[in-house]
Structure 1
Amino acid sequence: MNKLSKNYLMTGGYQLLNILIMLIITPYLTRTLGSQSLGIDAYVLSIVQICQIMGSLGSTVYANREIAYVRTDKNRLTCVFWELFILRILLGSIVTVFYLVIAFHSAYKAVFLIQLITLLSYYLDVSWLYIGTEDVAPLTLCSAVVRLCTTPLIFLFVKTPAHLNLYVAIYAMTLALICGILLFGARKRVGRLPFGQLNLGRHLKPVIALFLPQAASSLYVMFDKTMLGLLASDFSRVSIYEKPELIVKAPTVLAMALTTVTMPRIAFCHARGRKEDIRDLVRSSLELVFLLFIPISAGVAIVAPIFIPAYLGPAYMDSVRVVWILAPIILAIAMTNVSGSQFLTGCNETGYLSLSYLVSAVFNIVGNFFLIPHLDEIGASFTTLGAEWLVVLIQFSAMYRILGRIGIRQIACKKLIAGAVMSAVILPLPKLLGSTLPVMLLQIAAGAVVYFIALVIMKDSGLYHRLNMLRNREG
């Protein structure tokens, strides 16, 4: 197994663990903390995440790329690491002042102050060093062990809505512990601080160039919760939107895992002018994205009427409509992980990234401003759906312009047909057999089988390629 495949499996395994933890704790939290407290938490966390993007000026993605460029030169690696680490701390310190001003003027000051630990952990995070050097094993193992150790604390100590602050503290300390361990491990990967060689200023222009797409991205991904908290009828609507949104977006962490290990490889190829290798990497990523996320997008929408009330509780019945609206963004996010996070970022095409995210952010903010006061979470859902596919349209147009034809119709056509056949087979099952959890499980199993058989019958090249890869590994 090559290093890229190994890193993808490890990163994907960790992301699956995160999904599993979320699936376990979410129904417990919706029944103990309730929608009002969870809405407050989602509102505050959205502000924390916006401050994190503003404070880092997009330097996390930039750092991944720059470390990938110099990973084979220990001296240059050391210099770049310390320059970026110090720059992140300086920028983060400025935004932290503004965050504290917001915290002390908020009705939820205690939650804001506890989440300050989360914000500082973001600024001190050095996961980009591990990702850029394609050494993700320590990163994934450390994060997995810490999360497995801290998650039981939620069940032990969080019992009522009054325990919101305790829940937030457990979340914040988990991130802080992971951050501390990774910082300690970074000492073995880089040399001592080279004071005389540091040049922080050389990073400012490219960091600011990446800041625009990162800031815009944060606005259209996170600002929906902030605007719901400010404009909706009450804070429970934030949770009614946020929890199903998390469920819908959970499968996309698999695409993010693919980005984590593929973007540094694309950056490496770009630095050496290997355009054909980049095209092959993009095609391979798109094959996997369509193979996995077309059936997942359809399946999530189909099982929502049974899954959501059983999983989140009867107080979240309105969330079913949110899932129906948001399900197509699963495929959209996976596609933009290839076009934006992998290709445009790895090839330093930040102008197109900026354009896609800025246009979508404006669309999102304007749409939310007009729709949320009248439709609450439904308005936010429609706006998010439009914004995500607008990003796809802009980024794929840019990718075609740079790389030329990729053959996306050839890649996607048979998978779309198989997804439609799968949906037609499993959609009527609840009406025929009843809306129960066993029927939902039957829908999932039958859907997977029908989708696979349809692809085999149509002789889909992407499926056969991956089956051959598995046979070769076994052989």
Structure 2
Amino acid sequence: MKAIKNYLYNLIYQILTILLPIVTIPYVSRTLGPDGLGSFALSNTYAQYFVLFGMIGLSIYSSREIAYVRDDESKLSKAFWEINFIRVITVGIAFILYMVLFGLILNSSNKIVYIMQSLVILSSLVDISWLFIGLEDFKRVIMKNIFVKLVGMVLIFCFVKHSSDVWLYALILGITQLVGQAIMWFEIPKSIIFIFPNTRNTVRHLKESIKMFLPQIAINIYTMLDKVILGAITNTAQVGLYDNSQRIIKLIITIVTTVATVTMPKMANFHKNKQYEEFQNYIYKSFSFVSFLAFPMTFGLIGVCKSFVPWFYGPGFEGIIPMFYIGSFLMITLGWSSILGIQVLLSIKREKQFTIAVSYGAAINIILNLILIKKFEGVGTTVSCVVAEFTGMFIMLFYLRDIINFRKLFKPVGKYFISSLVMCFPIWELSSYFNSTALNSFIIVLIGAILYLTMMIITRDAILIYALKLLKSRMRKSREAYGKQIDM
């Protein structure tokens, strides 16, 4: 039960971090246009690179380290302040270098946009979400973050009015992110007391985080460098189209990949305590759950995007449709990789194997981008990304052959694939037949969900049965609690 609650809280948190720009896209895409959104995406990509090098692998390492020591209050306090000490130094240096390069040296008409993006780096400096991930405790920070995100959304609708307001859009998103991270400091558990960082332990944390840094560099090659290459070879409009297709896909896939983020600390704890049977069971259950969600999401997006894109983005974004057709398969491979890589390889400290897997994917991504972008533009970038992700995922499978029974792992996948494919055909036809409106898209999605769930009921899917039993149990407890209140 606790794992499910943590999943839901973390899911809300992860979605919030990208939901603000998604919800405002129908408005912003019409106001800023493909070029404006492309300028924002490109400048944000450069800022994210400075975050990447400033963090030096701390984002994943920190939550794992907290999971290892969370049962000892003294060690927990030490780890928290030692990791934060490293973060202030490394991210602080990254912030200074960014401001020198883009604030003083850069000579561009978009200079103010780049300066506004520096808030993204400051946000990572104060971010302590890794503490709550490691403690498996998200309830503390969710409600305040919801409020901050909603305020940011209102500000965008109120003040972003013209195509030249890209800098204002970046400013609002940056401030929203910074405030959202800063308020977490008011929710630190009282058991964490200030302990001056130990130099030896700080160096140890730094060395261990660098091991995590190498695979993160490779991962970010095909999450950020592809936009840089696309912008250099084509134009900012193509970057805007590609970036927005990726935003929708990654928002949807967050529902799936959150499983790995939540369960990684628990898996690390199982492995540390040599609870190997529980460790393996978690792998199979997580993989099945991810597949249960990822396949209908993939084929559902393919089926509905012809109805969805015109009303959601407005004129000038028609080129995003083929990117959805291809990019939707990222939901499957990113979902599987999150389990195999983050939940398993990193939790058992096989960072080297994880690094090799994503490095091969990164190399393929760069090669394919250079070959395909000139002719196919953003669609070529999408193809490169999908092929790269599947390559990395298959290499992870190879490295886990001593832990995982592949037959058991993939046993439920065929059912999810066939059911999703069957669902896709009718919603594809409906998407072509109906006019492009928000209501029609909602109806199509609802029909697709009903079709898929019906097939899951017919096949008596274990994931669905468990979810229904859990829902029934929660409803019964709520009725009992309500009955007691009436009796009183």
- TM-score range (shorter-chain normalised) is over 0.9
**2: CA distance, partners of 1:13 / 1:351:** 31
**1: CA distance, partners of 2:345 / 2:99:** 35
Equivalent pair of 1:126/1:186 in contact (CA under 8 Å): no
1:5-154 maps to which residues of 2 (within 5 A)?
5-17=4-16, 21-103=20-102, 104-107=105-108, 108-154=110-156
Once the 2 structures are TM-superposed, how far is the Cα of residue 394 of structure 1 from its aligned partner?
A: 1.4
Does the C-alpha gap of structure 1 residues 189 and 177 become closer, same or farther in structure 2, counting only changes over 3 Å?
Answer: farther
**1: CA distance, partners of 2:254 / 2:173:** 19
Once the 2 structures are TM-superposed, how far is the Cα of residue 46 of structure 1 from its aligned partner?
A: 0.9
RMSD: 2.0
**1: CA distance, partners of 2:211 / 2:18:** 32
Q: Which moved more, 1:353-362 or 1:8-17?
A: 8-17
Equivalent pair of 1:299/1:423 in contact (CA under 8 Å): yes
TM-score, length basis structure 1 = 0.94
SS in 2 for 1:160: coil
Match of 1:194 in 2: 196
Match of 1:178 in 2: 180
Once the 2 structures are TM-superposed, how far is the Cα of residue 285 of structure 1 from its aligned partner?
A: 1.1
**2: CA distance, partners of 1:119 / 1:16:** 20
**1: CA distance, partners of 2:191 / 2:29:** 42
Does the C-alpha gap of structure 1 residues 121 and 434 become closer, same or farther in structure 2, counting only changes over 3 Å?
Answer: closer
**2: CA distance, partners of 1:293 / 1:342:** 17
In structure 2, give the amino acid aligned to 1:4.
A
Whether 2:225 is the aligned partner of 1:223: answer: yes
Pick the aligned partner of 2:166 from 164, 173, 177.
Answer: 164
Match of 2:265 in 1: 264
Once the 2 structures are TM-superposed, how far is the Cα of residue 28 of structure 1 from its aligned partner?
A: 0.6
Once the 2 structures are TM-superposed, how far is the Cα of residue 242 of structure 1 from its aligned partner?
A: 0.8
Equivalent pair of 2:57/2:213 in contact (CA under 8 Å): yes
**1: CA distance, partners of 2:310 / 2:434:** 18
Q: Which moved more, 1:384-393 or 1:93-102?
A: 93-102
SS in 2 for 1:190: coil
1:422-437 maps to which residues of 2 (within 5 A)?
422-431=423-432
SS in 1 for 2:201: coil
Deviations 1:117-150 (A, max 9, x none): 2112112211111111111112322322211122
Does the C-alpha gap of structure 1 residues 406 and 191 become closer, same or farther in structure 2, counting only changes over 3 Å?
Answer: farther
SS in 2 for 1:315: coil
SS in 1 for 2:165: helix
Match of 1:388 in 2: 389
Deviations 1:304-336 (A, max 9, x none): 112111110121001111111101111111111
Q: Which moved more, 1:250-259 or 1:81-90?
A: 250-259
Once the 2 structures are TM-superposed, how far is the Cα of residue 451 of structure 1 from its aligned partner?
A: 1.2
**1: CA distance, partners of 2:165 / 2:439:** 34
SS in 1 for 2:402: helix
Whether 2:414 is the aligned partner of 1:413: answer: yes
Match of 1:253 in 2: 254
Over 6 Å off, 4+ runs:
none
SS in 2 for 1:314: coil
Match of 2:368 in 1: 367
**2: CA distance, partners of 1:230 / 1:421:** 40
In structure 1, give the amino acid aligned to 2:148.
V
SS in 1 for 2:195: coil
In structure 2, give the amino acid aligned to 1:244.
S
Q: Aligned residues: percent identity?
A: 29
TM-score, length basis structure 2 = 0.92
**2: CA distance, partners of 1:407 / 1:275:** 16
Equivalent pair of 1:83/1:198 in contact (CA under 8 Å): no
1:224-303 maps to which residues of 2 (within 5 A)?
224-232=226-234, 234-303=235-304
**1: CA distance, partners of 2:172 / 2:369:** 32
Gaps spanning 5+ residues in structure 2: where?
Answer: 477-488
Once the 2 structures are TM-superposed, how far is the Cα of residue 53 of structure 1 from its aligned partner?
A: 1.3
In structure 2, give the amino acid aligned to 1:42.
A
**2: CA distance, partners of 1:292 / 1:98:** 42
Does the C-alpha gap of structure 1 residues 275 and 312 become closer, same or farther in structure 2, counting only changes over 3 Å?
Answer: same
Deviations 1:175-194 (A, max 9, x none): 11122211233373521133
Deviations 1:225-261 (A, max 9, x none): 12122221x2111101111111122111112322232
Once the 2 structures are TM-superposed, how far is the Cα of residue 433 of structure 1 from its aligned partner?
A: 5.3
Match of 1:457 in 2: 458
Match of 2:480 in 1: none
Equivalent pair of 2:42/2:228 in contact (CA under 8 Å): yes
SS in 2 for 1:348: coil
SS in 1 for 2:363: helix
Once the 2 structures are TM-superposed, how far is the Cα of residue 430 of structure 1 from its aligned partner?
A: 4.1
SS in 2 for 1:13: helix
Does the C-alpha gap of structure 1 residues 154 and 437 become closer, same or farther in structure 2, counting only changes over 3 Å?
Answer: closer
Equivalent pair of 1:283/1:406 in contact (CA under 8 Å): no
Equivalent pair of 1:158/1:166 in contact (CA under 8 Å): yes
In structure 2, give the amino acid aligned to 1:371.
L
Gaps spanning 5+ residues in structure 1: where?
Answer: none
Does the C-alpha gap of structure 1 residues 433 and 162 become closer, same or farther in structure 2, counting only changes over 3 Å?
Answer: closer
Does the C-alpha gap of structure 1 residues 102 and 406 become closer, same or farther in structure 2, counting only changes over 3 Å?
Answer: farther
Does the C-alpha gap of structure 1 residues 419 and 369 become closer, same or farther in structure 2, counting only changes over 3 Å?
Answer: same
Equivalent pair of 1:297/1:331 in contact (CA under 8 Å): yes
**1: CA distance, partners of 2:64 / 2:190:** 20
Match of 1:337 in 2: 338
Q: Which moved more, 1:372-381 or 1:52-61?
A: 372-381
Does the C-alpha gap of structure 1 residues 162 and 403 become closer, same or farther in structure 2, counting only changes over 3 Å?
Answer: same
**2: CA distance, partners of 1:123 / 1:406:** 44
Total equivalences in the alignment: 473
Once the 2 structures are TM-superposed, how far is the Cα of residue 116 of structure 1 from its aligned partner?
A: 1.2
Equivalent pair of 2:302/2:424 in contact (CA under 8 Å): no
Q: Which moved more, 1:303-312 or 1:363-372?
A: 363-372
Match of 1:320 in 2: 321
Once the 2 structures are TM-superposed, how far is the Cα of residue 283 of structure 1 from its aligned partner?
A: 1.4
Once the 2 structures are TM-superposed, how far is the Cα of residue 27 of structure 1 from its aligned partner?
A: 0.8
Deviations 1:260-288 (A, max 9, x none): 32111111111111111111111121121
SS in 2 for 1:242: helix
Does the C-alpha gap of structure 1 residues 419 and 113 become closer, same or farther in structure 2, counting only changes over 3 Å?
Answer: same
SS in 2 for 1:401: coil
Does the C-alpha gap of structure 1 residues 368 and 211 become closer, same or farther in structure 2, counting only changes over 3 Å?
Answer: same
Does the C-alpha gap of structure 1 residues 85 and 14 become closer, same or farther in structure 2, counting only changes over 3 Å?
Answer: closer
**2: CA distance, partners of 1:410 / 1:474:** 32
**2: CA distance, partners of 1:263 / 1:320:** 34
**1: CA distance, partners of 2:459 / 2:283:** 23
Does the C-alpha gap of structure 1 residues 398 and 473 become closer, same or farther in structure 2, counting only changes over 3 Å?
Answer: farther
